[in-house]
Structure formats: C-alpha cells, structure tokens
Amino acid sequence: MSSESDNILSLAGLGRPFRLGMLYDCTKDQLIPGRTLWDISTLEKRVVQPNNSSDFKVITSDSLEDKASALNVNGNLKLSLLSGMLEVSGSGKYLSNEKSSNKHERVTVQYKCTTRSEQMTMDQLGPGKVQYPNVIKEETATHVVTEILYGAHAFFVFERDCSSSSHDEDIHGAMKVLLSKIPNMSVGLNLKGALSDKEINEVENFKCIFIGDFLLLENPCTYKDAVRVYKELPALLGDDKQNAIPIKVTLYPLTRLDSKASKLVREISESLTSKTEEIFEGLQELTLRCNDLVNSSVAKANKPMQKEIAKFKSQITIYKRELQKQLSVLLPRIRGGGVEESLLADLLNKNETSPFNYCELEAWVQDKENQVKILSDYNKLLAEIKLASDLGYLKSLIMNPENNNKYILCLRLLLPKSNFHLSKLETFNRNEYDYASDHTTTERNLEDNIASRNDQHQKISMMEQAILFKDYFVSNRESNETVFVVAMDCSDTLDYQANIECYRCGRLLNKDYLLPSAPGKPQVEQSTHNTATIHWTSPKFGASTVQKYEILCQRQTNRDNRPVSFTTGPDTLSFTVPELDVNSVYQVSVRSWCEVGVGPTSETNMVSIRPTNLP
C-alpha cells in the first residue's frame, strides 16, 4: 500500500476527550494527554463556526458494521475496537453493547445533533510555527488534532423478548413502526392519544437501554420514559450548547510539521479488516447461542450438559481475549511500518486452520441445539415424572429412609457426546496442541472405542424406552411401592440411548433393568359355550423379568364393572377363561407383572361365546 504518512484523517470522537492541539497516535488509536505543540493562548485563537443540525434514525440491525456506520467509524478504527486497544465512553459504548440472547429482538433509535466546529488556523500550522518542536521527537504521536466538530449522540436500545431464537420479522417490523413515532409524540406523554390500545399493550413489552453523550438524572427503562427523555435532549445540551462533546475530529499528520516525526505508514487493508470483523462476529454469534443453551430448561435440568456448554463458551472467551492481545501488538507495528501486513493475514489464516474456526465451532453448537430440542420433547412426554437435575438429588432420593423397601426406577437418557473437540479447544488455548500434527489416529481410536460400545448396547431405542417407562409410571401411579425418576446424562455414544437403573434399600440392583413391554394381542384358539382359550406372545422387551401374566376379561355390555382377572406363570402363554355366558361378547387383554409393578396392557381382542351345536 502507499504511504499514509501525509494524509489528513477524519475520525469519530466516540466520547473521547479530544481538544485542539492534542497529540494522537494513529498506530494505536490512542490519545496522548498532557503534551501539546502550542501554548494555551495560541490554541485559544481558534476559528469557531456554528454547525447546527439534528437527525433521527431507526436502526434495525445489531451488527457491528451497522453500529459503526451510525457513529461514522471507519474500518481501521473498528479494527482497533475489535483488538481491545480503543477505549471509548458515552455513545462510543454503543459499539460494544450486545444483546445477551438470540431470543431478544432489538431495534435502536438514534438521535444525533451537531452544534459547532472549532479549528486551528493555517497560520498556526505553518512552517516554524510549532512552539514546542521537541515534543514531536519525544512522543510516539503521529498526528495532532486540528479541527473538532461538537455535538452529541443518543441511542435508545429497545429489546423485546420473543419465544424463538430465530429472527421474528413480524415483531421486528412492529417495533420499527412504533419507534418511528417517537419524534412526533406529544410532550404530554398521553400514549392513548398517540397510540392505539393494541400498540400500548405492545410497547409495554419493550425494555429500553440508554447509551449516549447526555447526562441524565435517570435513565429510561420503558417506551414512555424514552419519549420523555427524547423530548428533553436538546435542552440537555445547555443554553449555550456548552455540554456538546467532540463527535468528529480532524487529524493533521506530524510529518508535515517535522519529517522526522513518527508516522502512520499504512492503514490495514479493507479485506483484512472485514475478515477480522467476520471472525469476531462469528464468535459473538456462537456466544449468544451458548447463552440460550445454558439458560434453557433442558440444560438447567441436565447439569453435565450445562457445565459442558459453559466450558465451551469459556474457551471461546479465552480464545477471543488472546486473539485481541495478539492484534493489539501486531496492528501498531503494521501501521507504523515495522512489519508487513502479511503477518496479520497469517494470524487470521491460523484461525481458519485452528479448532476455533467457525465451521467446527458452529457444528458443535448446532449439535447441542439439536440435543436440547430432542430432550425438550422428551421432557414434555415425561412431564409428570420427577426429574433429577443433578447427581445429588438422585442420590438423596435413593438413600432416603422413607424409600426403604421401595423400588426406585431411574430412566437415564444418554446423549451422544464427544469431548474430543472441546479438548482440542482447551489444548489449543494452553498452547500445547500442535494442530499441524497428524491427529487422525487419535480420532480413529476414539471412534472405534465408541463404535465398539454401541455394538454392545441393548436394541431398545431411547424412544421405546421412554414410552415404556411412561407407561409403567401411569400403570403404577396409585401404587406406593415404586418411585419413578428421570435423569439426563452425557456419554461418548454415537446414538441417543437410554437405560433404566433399578434401586432398592439404597443399593443398585440392576444398572440396565429391562421393563417388560406389553404382551402380544391375545388370539382365540377355541371357544365353547362357556369358555375361551386364548394365547399371546411374550413382550418384545423385558420378557426375562416377567414374574406373571394377568388376563383381564370383561363383558362388552358391562363396562361399568371392573374386569375379572386371572393369572398365570411367566412361562405360560395361553389360558382358558372359564365361566363365560353364552351369546355374549367379551373383551380380553393381557398384561405382565414384574418385581417393580404392573406393566402396560396388550391390545384388546373380542371373544364371542356361542351355543354349542347339538348332534
């Protein structure tokens, strides 16, 4: 790139305390307070011109690009902000104000005004006019402030909760319409005169955050507060607008005053600036999604999952902080000409080949979002059953003396999980992970280990296990002999799985207990004028734990009475039902019993009893 050393620059103020004649280091985007090239009396001979304007704008995007545009922040200043070098205040804090959840719709109202401009004269900047030339040699400054535009910015950031993490165009559009009405609202603050009842109900859901250059006695929190404060803003500048602050400054290169001065050799190219912004925006997006995952009801009920997501998020935070440190060292050196811009390109390319590249991070988060969605559906299915949010609750339930001699059945839902990528993040952040090395062997060993364990698990799916567990809970709801509880856990499996643990007297009896599913639909083998012989098949799952079968028989026309029941042993799959009435139709079904209680009932079959034909 060509040298930038002789260029006059224009810069956003961002709430920083600029003054005419102040020195500035463009390589670090930092003010150098306390040193100047002229005495106070000389600087007071400035040119002051009125520059009155005001503007209102509704900002619907929350991206850094649009925030920077609202404050007239150029690419290199934005890069300094991303690196953490740039210290801002007042309205400048709008750049770093980010929502904490994707379940928040956000629309911002911007008020901007200008009041006056102050500038040094060309006579003051002429050859030989610098009063303290040694300051140029003693400081690292590259520019001096020669013109300041005064004014103020105010941002009213409105948020509204929404039910989904996806962008809601209807809510967003409604917010924009309502916020566009603020400048025309009356000072009387009678919302009923300006908004319909429906709109008033709508704005009651808005939360307001104020970020600006105005000193308020009380920050607005609601739509009504925002209308009041908005109307007061012009007066808050003061009678003589003395409360206005620098919102834009002009920087004069010191090399025009002294060829030996420090200089800005180059600005960072737009392509690398955009690439850096893209990396940080991606990290922020993933952080928001992690926030939503950590705060989901599923994660709160599943402490291992919640801790894992929080750990993942913390690794992103650590990486972002370290990346900022590297940028804060590298950017000044590139701008000052000490190193080539290619070093920044190398740093950004390293991100793409590291475990912190967006695609790998996003895939991990997407997988967790899928898990939360699936578990949320299972939570609805099992809503009536106690949920053990952590191991401590489950242990207290198992060891509770009141549950002595009771069976405790724990349905443990197992999520597919691999710690491998999370471990890569941790290792990379410790600078102990050689990402260029061949780690495919480690990955293959992990996958082989998972696959071998998957081959050994029972063939009952998580869905079948959960439905069966729910059926047992319903069948034994009135019994006081069995306690049902659900727990969620993470394990290194490739599939969603579930197992049932059976406890009694504080001891684990079986860590993979198989509850019997419903027996097959009973079939009629033969019938007489008062009997019917039926047979059925054993349960698809858990037949080995069946202790007896119960046959239920009820006349179809007598459903108000309880069915008559008969029992057989676990190895008997047929039964002759006695004492049936001729010319009657009966409903017959079968259910199994195991040590923990009664299981789900089979499908019902109809049995017709006819008179025996006489010879």
CATH classification of the domain holding 601? 2.60.40.10
E strand spans, 270-377: none
Asked if 310 and 250 sit in the same domain, the reply is no
pLDDT computed for residue 2 by the predictor: 41
Reported pTM: 0.84
**Residue 578, in any domain of the structure:** yes
| 242, 267, 292 - which closes a domain | 267
**For range 393-418, the mean pLDDT:** 87
**Residue 463, in any domain of the structure:** no
The answer for residues whose C-beta is within 8 angstroms of residue 322's C-beta and 6 or more apart is 429
Asked if 61 and 16 sit in the same domain, the reply is yes
Query: How much of the chain is helix, strand and coil, in % rounded to 5?
Result: 35, 25, 35
**Residue 400, in any domain of the structure:** no
Asked if 204 and 298 sit in the same domain, the reply is no
pLDDT computed for residue 140 by the predictor: 85
* Higher-confidence position of 558 and 430: 430
pLDDT higher than threshold 50 for residue 446 = no
Asked if 222 and 348 sit in the same domain, the reply is no
* Neighbour tally for 224: CB within 10 Å: 18
**The amino acid at 48:** V
**Residue 350, in any domain of the structure:** yes
* Higher-confidence position of 212 and 262: 212
Q: Tell me the three-class secondary structure of 456-516, residue by residue.
A: HCCCCCHHHHHHHHHHHHHHCCCCCCEEEEEEEEEECCCCCEEEEEEEECCEEEECCCCCC
**For range 355-375, the mean pLDDT:** 93
| 245, 267, 289 - which closes a domain | 267
**Residue 4, in any domain of the structure:** no
Asked if 114 and 14 sit in the same domain, the reply is yes
pLDDT higher than threshold 70 for residue 328 = yes
| From 73-82, 262-271, 413-422, the region with the lowest mean pLDDT | 413-422
Q: What angle do CA 405, 411, 413 make, to 5 degrees?
A: 155
**Residue 511, in any domain of the structure:** no
Asked if 181 and 288 sit in the same domain, the reply is no
Query: Token pair of 205, please?
Result: 């859901």
Instruction: For 412-438, write each residue's pLDDT tens digit.
Output: 998 887 667 888 898 888 873 344 434
Asked if 288 and 172 sit in the same domain, the reply is no
Structural domain count of the chain: 3
Helix intervals (H) in 71-212: 75-83, 134-138, 169-179, 191-194, 197-203
> Can you say whether residue 506 is alpha, beta or left, with left for phi > 0 and alpha for psi between -120 and 50 degrees?
left
**Residue 512, in any domain of the structure:** no
Average pLDDT, the chain: 89
pLDDT computed for residue 493 by the predictor: 67
pLDDT computed for residue 77 by the predictor: 95
**The amino acid at 284:** Q
Q: How far apart are CA 474 and CA 88, in angstroms?
A: 61
Asked if 309 and 199 sit in the same domain, the reply is no
Asked if 280 and 328 sit in the same domain, the reply is yes
Q: How far apart are CA 454 and CA 432, in angstroms?
A: 32
| From 176-190, 281-295, 301-315, the region with the lowest mean pLDDT | 176-190
pLDDT computed for residue 34 by the predictor: 87
Asked if 281 and 243 sit in the same domain, the reply is no
Name the 3-class secondary structure at 569. coil
| 267, 286, 302 - which closes a domain | 267
Asked if 337 and 226 sit in the same domain, the reply is no
**The amino acid at 405:** N
The alpha carbons of the chain give a radius of gyration, in whole angstroms, of 37
Name the 3-class secondary structure at 174. helix
pLDDT computed for residue 448 by the predictor: 41
Q: How far apart are CA 608 and CA 606, in angstroms?
A: 7
**Residue 450, in any domain of the structure:** no
Asked if 345 and 220 sit in the same domain, the reply is no
Yes or no: say if 131 and 42 are a contact pair by the CB < 8 Å rule.
yes
pLDDT higher than threshold 90 for residue 615 = no
Furthest-apart CA atoms within the chain: distance in Å: 139
Positive or negative torsion for Cα 392, 395, 401, 406: positive
Look up the domain containing 168 and give its range.
9-267
Yes or no: say if 265 and 2 are a contact pair by the CB < 8 Å rule.
no
pLDDT higher than threshold 50 for residue 454 = no
Instruction: For 510-529, write each residue's pLDDT tens digit.
Output: 999 999 999 999 999 998 98
Q: How far apart are CA 528 and CA 531, in angstroms?
A: 5
